[in-house]
């Protein structure tokens, strides 16, 4: 009977080390970690972890949200673990499905997690709609203003005496302090310049 750990870092900047440390401290024999958003269906390390489990093992995670995208996914995961005769241990939420109380707590926490996630999404959407109604757009400000776009185009179209371009896209990007992708986005001469 083994303890198999699973962790997931949800963004490029989030480090899974704290989850790995907690899973190691919980006595996990093997640990699988995905770097993926919670809303992405494909999680290869979760699939490997579930394939690795044997009857009598315990699947260990730090939080329910690390393994499940939604309440439906959480219930499917619980059913699969039951079918494989594998218990679930959720460290931060104190859930242990080897006990009847742990199984009840598992379902309650899953429902609460989904409810909170939906409230956050709803609040975000309302905030964006309110900002748009006041003339503000969400997201990052543009990397180049109208002057920067004109300068990028002028530099790109500048030719030397030999008729070749004087500046590469990389040189223009470096000079303006933006990425090459930003420069390429604005090089289309038919694209209107926006502030």
Task: Identify whether 18 is a catalytic site residue.
Answer: no
Q: How far apart are CA 61 and CA 6, in angstroms?
A: 5
Q: 6-22 in b/e burial notation, b at 16+ Cβ within 10 A?
A: bbbbbeeeeebeebbeb
Identify the three-state secondary structure at position 95: strand
- Alpha helices by DSSP H, listed for 40-99, are 44-52, 64-67, 71-83
Identify the three-state secondary structure at position 91: coil
10, 65, 98, 130: which one is catalytic? 10
Cβ 193 vs Cβ 146: under 8 Å = yes
Q: Which residues are catalytic?
A: 10
């Amino acid at each position: 009977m083994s303890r198999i750990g699973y962790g997931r870092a949800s963004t490029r900047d989030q480090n899974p080390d704290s989850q790995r440390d907690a899973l190691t401290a919980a006595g996990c024999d093997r640990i699988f970690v995905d770097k993926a958003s919670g809303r992405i269906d494909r999680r290869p390390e979760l699939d490997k972890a579930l394939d690795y489990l044997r009857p009598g093992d315990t699947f260990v995670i730090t939080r329910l949200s690390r393994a499940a995208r939604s309440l439906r996914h959480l219930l499917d995961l619980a059913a699969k673990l039951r079918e494989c005769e594998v218990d679930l241990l959720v460290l931060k939420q104190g859930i242990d499905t080897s006990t009847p109380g742990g199984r009840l707590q598992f379902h309650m926490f899953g429902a609460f997690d989904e409810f909170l996630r939906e409230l956050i999404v709803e609040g975000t959407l309302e905030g964006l709609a309110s900002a748009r109604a006041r003339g503000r757009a969400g997201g990052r400000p543009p990397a180049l203003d109208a002057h920067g776009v004109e300068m990028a185009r002028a530099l790109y179209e500048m030719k030397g005496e030999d008729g070749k371009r004087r500046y590469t896209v990389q040189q223009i990007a470096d000079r303006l302090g933006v990425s090459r992708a930003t420069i390429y986005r604005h090089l289309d001469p038919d694209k209107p310049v926006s502030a």
